[in-house]
Structure formats: structure tokens, C-alpha cells
Amino acid sequence: MPQMRKNPLTGKWVILAPERAHRPESHLPHYHPHVEHHIECHFCYGNEQITPPEVLVYGRQEALPNSPGWELRVISNKFPAVDMEKHFSVSCNNSMEVYSYAEGKSEVIIETPHHSKNMAHYSLKQLELVLNSYKERYIAISNEKHIKSVLIFKNQGKSAGASISHSHSQIIGLPILPPLLEQELLLSKNHYKEKNTCIYCDMIALELKEKSRIVFENDKFISFMPYAAKAPFETWILPKFHSDSFEKLTDSQIKNLAEIWKVVLYKLHEGLDNAPYNYFIHTSPAYENTENYYHWHVEIIPRTTTPAGFELGTGIFINISTPEENAKILREIEIK
């Protein structure tokens, strides 16, 4: 049974989900461009009945549910860290042991039927499907009772936490605000109270002025390496227009986002020799009005280094390179 426990020293929640230790480790051939299908992969064509039933599908025309013929599927996570079987209700044995059932919603986006396709090589059409599925499932999960925040994320590569090599991403709804999002909201609100501007809009204005950390931009979106990047080649994607919620994207904006998404991931793939990475989308909490002061964004963290004792003991990350140098490297990579 998944459980959440509260650290009495930090006030932060952790999730205990021992069932996830039983997840299948399936790192079958992944990057060979000719491996379109693998019979042993749960996410490939023909194995639809092995996975939980799909909650969203794109591409299948007039065929039975949970059958081949799809371009993208979304399923419930078979080994969830959280579930909706019980409600989040804080209890305590004493002042040091505060806990609750780990309520939440956990889903997997199987982004492509192609077993070995890397997201850096998706077509723009496929990326649009992925982003549309993110938006559609974000809206559905955020409307679930008790859900306060929704995180969309991707673990690319075994050392980045992926247990199955077939390209996929995940979406999890929680009954709490994660500490990182809570901190961003607080700092954004304080900045707005002090300056009456969005801190992310101010950040974008600075990057457009200095230009040294920009990786790529188009009419609607910008990608840059943050001034205080915590890891080599950490890269963000933000809308140039002010928007607090990913779910508010229009169809035309999704097309623009797909373009910059493809360019950035391709440059990282080529520049870092297909290094593992994680990305996540930070967006406004469900049912909370952050329109004036918050700005949704994507953070991509390549796994080129490993946090060690200093980072774990202090929470201060050591970056062995500068974002200005790294951004220049990626800018110079041509898109083919």
C-alpha cells in the first residue's frame, strides 16, 4: 500500500511505494534505428492486452480498444507510486510520525509505436500528438477530486530512471503541492508583490537582451540555459507570452512548441552523444489562481554528472561548466 510520510525536520513529504520494486526492467534494443517492434516489449504493437486499459488513444480508426493501429496510447501506470483507492487524510502516531495514504493518479504516455525511436527524432506531427496528450490528460487529472498538482515528466535512459526503454513519459496527480513547485510559486508571488511583474517574464527579457544563454527561439517560445544552471546543459523552454498554465495552450501554440521541443532535444542528443536526461513541466496548481505571477515552463536536465556528498548534504549543486559555454555549443549544432 503506497504511503506518504512527513519529515518532521523539513516538513516535506516522501512517498513509500515498495510495490514499484517489482516493475519490469525492460531495456531491450532501444536506439538501433531499425528496431521498430520487439515482441517482448510491453509497449509495442500486439502487446496491448498486457498493459492496463488505455485511457486515451490517438490514430486508431474504427478498431477495438487496446488493439494495434495506434499512434499514441495513454494507460494507467501498472506500478503506481500513488493511486485513487483511498483518500489523502493526514494521521499521526505522535509528533514525529505523520503519514497518509498516498492518494493520486498515475499514467504512462506511450509516445510512439516504434520501439527504438528516440524523441529527438520524432516528426513534428508525432511531437504535436505527445503535447496534445499531455494537455488532454493534464486537464482530466487536474479535475479529479482531491488533486492539487499535476506533474508531467519523462525519464530518458536507464540512468535517468526509465525502467522500460520504449520511449514513454508519465503524468502524476498529487493531493499536495510538491516542494519545488511550492517554492517557485512563493518566490514568483513575492517578486510580483515587489515589482508588479512576472519573474519569468523578467528572466526572458534578460535572456533576449544578453543572448549568450539562448539555445533556440521562435515567435512564441524561447529556450535557454538558466543563469544559475544546476547541471551541465540544463535547458529550459518557456512561452514568450505570459501564461501560468500549460493547459491553456492553443492548437497553433502547440505547433510552435513542438518545433522548439524538437530542435532542443535534437541538439542535446547530438551534442551530448545521446546522454540520458529528465524533463518535467512545472505549471499552475489545480484550482489555484496564479495568473498574474506564475509562468509555466519546461526544465530539461541531462544526466552527464552524478550528485555526490556535497550536493546531497547541502542541497547546493556544483556545475562543472558554464551555461554560456554550453549554450554556444548547442547553438552551433545544425539541424539535419
Q: What would the pLDDT profile of 92-112 be if each residue is shown by its tens digit?
A: 989 899 999 999 999 999 999
What is the rounded distance in angstroms from the CA atom of residue 94 to the CA atom of residue 262?
A: 50
pLDDT, one tens digit per residue, over 259-316 is 999 999 999 999 999 999 999 999 999 988 999 999 999 999 999 999 889 888 988 8
Does residue 226 sit within a domain? yes
SS3 content of the chain, % helix, strand, coil (to 5): 30, 25, 50
Please check whether residues 190 and 75 belong to one and the same domain.
Answer: no
Does residue 106 sit within a domain? yes
Report whether pLDDT(33) > 70: no
Supply the pTM of this predicted model: 0.92
Q: What is the mean pLDDT of the chain?
A: 92
pLDDT band at 24 (very low <50, low <70, confident <90, very high): low
Please check whether residues 213 and 130 belong to one and the same domain.
Answer: no
Please check whether residues 17 and 162 belong to one and the same domain.
Answer: yes
What is the rounded distance in angstroms from the CA atom of residue 137 to the CA atom of residue 231?
A: 30
CA 138, 182, 191, 219 torsion-angle sign: negative
Question: Residue holding cell 500528438?
Answer: 129
Please check whether residues 156 and 196 belong to one and the same domain.
Answer: no
Please check whether residues 144 and 192 belong to one and the same domain.
Answer: no
Please check whether residues 56 and 7 belong to one and the same domain.
Answer: yes
Please check whether residues 171 and 244 belong to one and the same domain.
Answer: no
Please check whether residues 148 and 254 belong to one and the same domain.
Answer: no
What is the rounded distance in angstroms from the CA atom of residue 245 to the CA atom of residue 154?
A: 19
Report whether pLDDT(8) > 80: no
Domain tally, the chain: 2
Please check whether residues 301 and 161 belong to one and the same domain.
Answer: no
pLDDT, one tens digit per residue, over 134-179 is 999 999 999 999 999 999 999 999 889 888 889 999 999 999 999 9
Domain boundary among 130, 153, 176: 176
CATH of residue 98: 3.30.428.10
End-to-end Cα, the chain, rounded Å = 48
pLDDT score of 21: 66
Question: What backbone phi and psi angles, to 5 degrees, belong to 259?
Answer: -60, -50
pLDDT score of 30: 45
Q: Is 168 in the active site?
A: yes
Report whether pLDDT(25) > 80: no
What is the CB neighbour count within 10 angstroms for residue 70? 20
Please check whether residues 229 and 305 belong to one and the same domain.
Answer: yes
Domain boundary among 130, 152, 176: 176
Which residues span the domain enclosing 304?
180-331
pLDDT, one tens digit per residue, over 214-252 is 999 999 999 999 999 999 999 999 999 999 999 999 999
CB 109 within 8 A of CB 74: yes
Catalytic residue among 168, 282, 295, 297: 168
SS3 category, 329: helix
Please check whether residues 37 and 185 belong to one and the same domain.
Answer: no
Percentage with pLDDT > 70 across the chain: 95
Report whether pLDDT(11) > 90: no
Measuring CA to CA, which residue among 91, 135, 90, 130 is closest to residue 109? 130
Please check whether residues 142 and 199 belong to one and the same domain.
Answer: no
Domain boundary among 131, 157, 176: 176
pLDDT score of 67: 93
The mean pLDDT value for 6-14 works out to: 75
pLDDT score of 275: 95
pLDDT score of 15: 80
Does residue 336 sit within a domain? no
Report whether pLDDT(17) > 70: yes
